Amino acid sequence: MTVYGSFPASRPRRLRVNPAMRRMVAETRLHPADLILPAFVREGVAEPVPISAMPGVVQHSLDSLRRAAAEAVAAGVSGIMLYGVPEDAKKDAVGTAGTDPDGILQAGIRAVREEVGDELIVMSDLCLDEYTDHGHCGVLDQQGRVDNDATLERYAEMAQVQADAGAHMVGASGMMDGQIGVTREALDAIGREDVSILAYTAKYSSAFYGPFREAVGSSLKGDRKTYQQDPANAREAMRELALDLEEGADMVMVKPALPYLDILARIADEANVPVAAYQISGEFAMIEAAAEKGWIDRDAAIMETLTGIKRAGAGTILTYWATEVAQKLGR
């Protein structure tokens, strides 16, 4: 009773009185197994190369990639998503290095499998952008436009080469119409029904990809707005979801994560397969930069954002902090 009258018996603050109480009633819990580590492997380097826009993240050598994979396993991380960074001289109009059995991504896949076997799900980026001299995710036609169906032929070959190298899962990230169905047919054609497909179902054309372009040595000219989703659209993501599920996607993903939590929640409500989200390079860089300035608490911000992504519906989260966070969470 106060001088202003009585209040209802229900007082939510009772369940916030101390850390033990808050921990007991927490509705969302992060676990190391929720996390996937994105990693870059660069051709022709003997030591890791720091990425200036992503403090603490590097372009790995094959040896340092092996160490990173082993560290992730020890921390309880579930998987690693690999991106290849070829030498500039090997880039061409159709991304030949991406389908070379001895290309840097395939070498990275083999190195990780040799190091950790099946203890870590090895995922591979199924896209051409790292390997093309124009930096687009597909083959260009005579007018300089990305040719959807010609690109699908390249993706099919990439999927087979990555599977042969040892990938457990391919990450279909190019946002070409029909990419999941073509990839599934290509894998099945070589008897690799066991290799699964992560569909980048809602991959938006985002301003937050900037640091990633440095990480993969992008040669992009122009933008990707004709194939990545428009940030203004939500129903479009649900259409993409229906198509990816019909074509045989084993998992679906929203990328970026934080600006699209509404999309993530809608997809999580509708999907009948596991749902992932990618906390991308720009999201990572903003927190690291603000923390370096002393403007935010770095560790608290990391955990808050990851908790928010999981609360919105992600069962799996790709984050550059995967190993660090897993080590803090414990098994």
Which two three-digit tokens encode residue 49? 């190369």
Active-site entry in 255, 293, 310, 328: 255
**Beta strand 121-126 pairing with 251-255:** unpaired
**Which residue in 90, 203, 225, 310 is the catalytic one?**
203
Contact 306, 279 (CB under 8 A): yes
Q: What is the tally of helices (H) and strands (E) in the chain?
A: 11, 10
CA distance 149 to 328: 45
For 12-31, give the secondary structure using H, E and C.
Answer: HHHHHCCHHHHHHCCCCCCC
- Clarify whether 203 is annotated catalytic: yes
Q: Are strands 58-60 and 35-42 parallel, antiparallel or unpaired?
A: parallel
Say whether the peptide bond before residue 48 is cis (omega within 30 degrees of 0): no
Which residues face 255 on adjacent strands?
Answer: 203
Q: How far apart are CA 200 and CA 276, in angstroms?
A: 9
Under a CB-based contact definition with an 8 Å cutoff, are residues 223 and 135 in contact? no
Write out the H or E segment, with its range, that includes residue 39. strand 35-42
Element (H, E) at 121: strand 121-126
Instruction: Examine the residue annotation and report whether 225 is marked as an active-site residue of this protein.
Output: no
Residue positions annotated with a catalytic role: 203, 255
